[in-house]
Structure 1
Amino acid sequence: MKGSPRRVQTLRLLAAANLAGIGGLELALLLHGSRSFFLSIVGADFRALYAAAAIAQHEGFHRIYDLHAHEAVQRALLGLGPGDSNFVVIPMVFPAAFVLPMLGLLPLGPAGAWAVWTLLGVLALGVYLRGWWGSEKGRGMAIALALLSYPVFTNVLWGQVGTWLVLCAGECLRHLHRGRPGWAGIWAAGLLIKPQTLFLVLPALLGEGGWRALGGWAAAGAGVIGLSALLAGGEGLGRWLGLLMGFAAGYPAMVPEVVGAETMMSWRAWGALGERWAPPPWRPWIWAGVGLGMGLTALVALRPWWKGPRGPAGDPLHWLGLWAATPVVGWHAHPHTAVLALPALLAAQGTGRLPRWLLPFWALAPVAAWIGTTLGISLGLLPDLSGLGNWAAARTLFLIHLGLALAIGARSRETPSSSGGPPCAG
């Protein structure tokens, strides 16, 4: 950073104060929400996972995807009676194998389980991400930016599985760089917790790690699905597939707002908005544009694997483009899915291969959009529409990720230096 030592120190103090203010605001919102809106807003997605574990323990794994069973348990968790119409059931769509760890948290009760889940997730994420920064210099600020970013905040807010996604994405990248494509594929199989995140990963794995990588993914994936089928049985597996394909969309207590396509950070969100607001004759053209955008974004993001020359395996810059594109082309991708990009983003930023402003912009621009929209609503400058702040943050993330995917894909002919791998690749 240019300037006198005093000016540099002043700027660092200002940056730290701003981050502290953002962190304080996010913490205050979480604490207030955990008292007033626990499991209805704060921890809402955690509610579905906790309910699935409770159903598995008392009724059997074959019922963890039964929305009737979920409605009864989730109403009880919220303290709502059968006749209370102010209720939305949240389905649990993870493979049954991922429910097993939650069984160990059931004795703590919903509040205790959520607290442990949240604290362990944030601590584990912070510790893990430290290894992806290239040097000691600036590491603390980089990790603070990552943890205060909108994608991480929404993972904590909803009780999502972002730490697991980051771990799987990071270890896949690390093992590719170390020349262990089979292990890279095994770690990529952990992304089956959200199967929609695999759309671009599998072609890239095949292109970079060959059949060994894809074989590792298939073997580990077969283990996850096999264990899930063993736990849930044919009935449970059929219901799970039905939920994934949207066959249960007509369930009375699961309204469209559960999916919330308009507030996603994907191309699909634009189609959902067009479906709601555009004149009927325009809607097919809007969806055609959405499909074209998805296809072109996917092709550009995969360009490093089909348009050589390519640099060393596990190049974080190329994988940053792929992880940036993943939620943009995904059919179901809320802002919390953007955490997939964090290991590659920190690795590329920490080794000086990205502009210095990129990580702060990625972390804080969506937060600023969310806070600014919320203030605009409170001051009467914007309409009081449900989810408008999240919509603004998601649009910001969409543009950032789309820009990253296109910019990195366009540079794919450039051969990175041999030092371009993950700093913790050893």
Structure 2
Amino acid sequence: MSWRKKESGNSSSLARALSLALFALALLEALYFVGGLRVAGLFPIIGGDFRALYAAAQAARAHGFGAIYQPERTLPFQETLCRMAGPEAPCVFIPMVFLPAFALLVLPLTFLPPDVAFALWSVASLLLIFLALRPILRPFPSPERRPLLALMLLAYPSFMNLLWGQVNAWLLLGLARFQVDQEARADFRSGLWLGWLLLKPQTLVLLLPGLALAGRWKTLMGFGTSAGLILLLSLALSGPSGLREWWGWISGFAAPHPALAPAVVGAETMMNWRALGVWLDGALPDAPLWAGIGIAMALTALPVPIAWRRAREAGEDRSTRLLIGTLTATLTASWHAHAHTAMILMPSLLSAVREGSLPRPLLLTWGLLPATLPFGVILLEAMRVPLPEGGVVSFLAGRLFFALHLILLGWAITPFLQVRRHP
């Protein structure tokens, strides 16, 4: 009995420590956000990605949807937004990189003042995170739900999503509903939700082939239905030329685009092998460096289709562990992956903890450790420690998530690679 009391006491102490850490993190993030607004103002930096969306929607209203990918039409709207922070505020051009259909999400907000629109977009993002994670958290014991939800809301990817005005909450909703419907064996409906991932098509590069290898044809039919509707709506809105220009921009994030400043792509701050190549550029000759990066990307991605094939044979192709392996490999091996996109891992990480397969310390490390980086950098700057100018937090976060995702990938995929084939 005394041992049980001691164990219960330890659990209570850990719960109190976590609650205190989350409260401190919430306070620090609020101060960071408000301080950023006071120092840089809204839209030059904070809300920069929302600025691109809002300006594209304004251009669509003024000139038609064919204009949303044309810098000469959208840049004047962006510059007007930047000048809200002051007449000399910097305004690096950020292109519209989403399909025309997704511009409809922000179009109604252009009837509101930009600052009000950004506030509503931010509230909507928080609400989407709550709606996405609510069914995932429901099976947890009641005392655990709020701390876990707070952990996800305060994690670095969520905070950066809010800071930049990003779209990842929509991706999160799509993947969470895919996961819930997959577990319920509502395959067609689960596939319909995957259409949201066309916001960032690179998130599908391993998941769709995995579903095909598992013979999940109803899921793929659902995805084909929603993806087809999104593409048809986009075609109707902007015409073939608009889709060609959209493809030019997203391919421009892979290869240099004349209208793109390197800071907008931010390859060195990503959480993938590409970022490592950019970091080492100049330290090694280009040919062996990028050949090595390409091999590393292939070796990271290759185990995933093998795992899906083995999982199908073992009847485990709906496994949360398999989904974690697929998504971490995607984020590590794909050519464009910033830390805020790691939000898509939240439903599967929580489900794995709920099932008892993922150690809770690993989830806490993923949720808390990168979130402390902005404040650690502020502390170092206050101590006059020499640091590179610009992007230090994003650079460190990219390296940290890169390492954490490789650990998660190894944990998730290894059991499937050890499954023996039936003779």
- TM-score, normalisation: structure 2: 0.91
* 1:286 corresponding residue in structure 2: 289
Q: Out of 15, 21, 26, which is 2:24 matched to? A: 21
Q: Secondary structure at the match of 1:160?
A: coil
* 1:421 corresponding residue in structure 2: none
Tell me how far apart the structure 2 counterparts of residues 250 and 207 of structure 1 sit (CA, whole Å).
35
Matches within 5 A, 1:101-120: 101-120=105-124
Q: Out of 134, 138, 147, which is 1:130 matched to? A: 134
* 1:183 corresponding residue in structure 2: 189
Deviations 1:127-160 (A, max 9, x none): 4313213322422111111111111111111111
Tell me how far apart the structure 2 counterparts of residues 144 and 413 of structure 1 sit (CA, whole Å).
35
1:218 Cα deviation from its structure 2 partner: 2.0
Return the letter of the residue paired with 2:162. Answer: V
The alignment status of 1:258 with 2:264, answered yes or no, reads yes
The answer to whether the Cα contact below 8 Å between 2:44 and 2:89 also exists between their aligned partners in 1 is no
Tell me how far apart the structure 2 counterparts of residues 219 and 129 of structure 1 sit (CA, whole Å).
25
1:6 Cα deviation from its structure 2 partner: 4.8
The alignment status of 1:168 with 2:174, answered yes or no, reads yes
The alignment status of 1:141 with 2:147, answered yes or no, reads yes
Tell me how far apart the structure 1 counterparts of residues 207 and 251 of structure 2 sit (CA, whole Å).
20
Deviations 1:369-410 (A, max 9, x none): 443234223323242321011111111011111111122111
* 1:223 corresponding residue in structure 2: 229
1:288 Cα deviation from its structure 2 partner: 1.3
1:102 Cα deviation from its structure 2 partner: 1.0
Q: Secondary structure at the match of 2:105?
A: helix
1:79 Cα deviation from its structure 2 partner: 1.3
Tell me how far apart the structure 2 counterparts of residues 180 and 8 of structure 1 sit (CA, whole Å).
37
Q: Secondary structure at the match of 2:216?
A: helix
| More deviation, 155-164/214-223 | 214-223
Tell me how far apart the structure 2 counterparts of residues 183 and 204 of structure 1 sit (CA, whole Å).
18
The answer to whether the Cα contact below 8 Å between 1:369 and 1:396 also exists between their aligned partners in 2 is no
Tell me how far apart the structure 2 counterparts of residues 361 and 85 of structure 1 sit (CA, whole Å).
37
Deviations 1:17-55 (A, max 9, x none): 111111111111112223443111111100000011111
1:300 Cα deviation from its structure 2 partner: 2.1
Q: Out of 50, 61, 64, which is 1:60 matched to? A: 64
Q: Out of 41, 47, 65, which is 2:45 matched to? A: 41
Q: 1:302 to 1:173 in 2, by over 3 A?
A: farther
Q: Out of 9, 13, 17, which is 2:12 matched to? A: 9
Tell me how far apart the structure 1 counterparts of residues 346 and 153 of structure 2 sit (CA, whole Å).
10
Q: Out of 409, 414, 419, which is 2:413 matched to? A: 409
Return the letter of the residue paired with 2:110. Answer: L
Matches within 5 A, 1:174-323: 174-246=180-252, 249-252=256-259, 254-275=260-281, 277-279=282-284, 282-308=285-311, 309-323=313-327
Q: Secondary structure at the match of 1:46?
A: helix
* 2:361 corresponding residue in structure 1: 357
Q: Secondary structure at the match of 2:347?
A: helix
The answer to whether the Cα contact below 8 Å between 2:66 and 2:237 also exists between their aligned partners in 1 is yes
The answer for unaligned runs of 5 or more in structure 1 is 416-426
Q: 1:326 to 1:76 in 2, by over 3 A?
A: same
Return the letter of the residue paired with 1:284. Answer: A
The answer to whether the Cα contact below 8 Å between 1:366 and 1:394 also exists between their aligned partners in 2 is no
The answer to whether the Cα contact below 8 Å between 2:175 and 2:193 also exists between their aligned partners in 1 is yes
Q: 1:291 to 1:2 in 2, by over 3 A?
A: farther
Q: 1:238 to 1:57 in 2, by over 3 A?
A: same
Tell me how far apart the structure 1 counterparts of residues 289 and 359 of structure 2 sit (CA, whole Å).
34
| More deviation, 8-17/63-72 | 8-17
Larger helix share, 1 or 2 = 2
The answer to whether the Cα contact below 8 Å between 1:155 and 1:161 also exists between their aligned partners in 2 is yes
The answer to whether the Cα contact below 8 Å between 1:304 and 1:310 also exists between their aligned partners in 2 is no
Tell me how far apart the structure 2 counterparts of residues 311 and 161 of structure 1 sit (CA, whole Å).
34
Q: Secondary structure at the match of 1:155?
A: helix
Tell me how far apart the structure 2 counterparts of residues 60 and 318 of structure 1 sit (CA, whole Å).
43
The answer to whether the Cα contact below 8 Å between 2:133 and 2:347 also exists between their aligned partners in 1 is yes
Identity fraction in percent: 36
Return the letter of the residue paired with 2:307. Answer: P
Q: Out of 91, 94, 99, which is 1:95 matched to? A: 99
1:115 Cα deviation from its structure 2 partner: 0.5
The answer to whether the Cα contact below 8 Å between 1:93 and 1:243 also exists between their aligned partners in 2 is yes
The alignment status of 1:389 with 2:393, answered yes or no, reads yes
The answer to whether the Cα contact below 8 Å between 1:51 and 1:73 also exists between their aligned partners in 2 is yes
The answer to whether the Cα contact below 8 Å between 1:65 and 1:236 also exists between their aligned partners in 2 is yes
1:235 Cα deviation from its structure 2 partner: 2.2
* 2:372 corresponding residue in structure 1: 368
Give RMSD over aligned pairs: 2.3
Return the letter of the residue paired with 1:118. Answer: S
* 1:420 corresponding residue in structure 2: none
Q: Out of 154, 159, 176, which is 2:165 matched to? A: 159
Return the letter of the residue paired with 2:413. Answer: G
| More deviation, 379-388/107-116 | 379-388
The answer to whether the Cα contact below 8 Å between 2:46 and 2:163 also exists between their aligned partners in 1 is yes
1:80 Cα deviation from its structure 2 partner: 8.0
Q: Secondary structure at the match of 1:79?
A: helix
Tell me how far apart the structure 2 counterparts of residues 86 and 171 of structure 1 sit (CA, whole Å).
39
The answer to whether the Cα contact below 8 Å between 2:136 and 2:350 also exists between their aligned partners in 1 is yes
1:184 Cα deviation from its structure 2 partner: 2.3
* 1:325 corresponding residue in structure 2: 329
* 1:340 corresponding residue in structure 2: 344
Q: 1:381 to 1:405 in 2, by over 3 A?
A: same
The answer to whether the Cα contact below 8 Å between 1:149 and 1:367 also exists between their aligned partners in 2 is yes
Tell me how far apart the structure 2 counterparts of residues 303 and 295 of structure 1 sit (CA, whole Å).
13
Return the letter of the residue paired with 2:158. Answer: V
1:105 Cα deviation from its structure 2 partner: 1.2
The answer for unaligned runs of 5 or more in structure 2 is none
The answer to whether the Cα contact below 8 Å between 1:142 and 1:359 also exists between their aligned partners in 2 is no
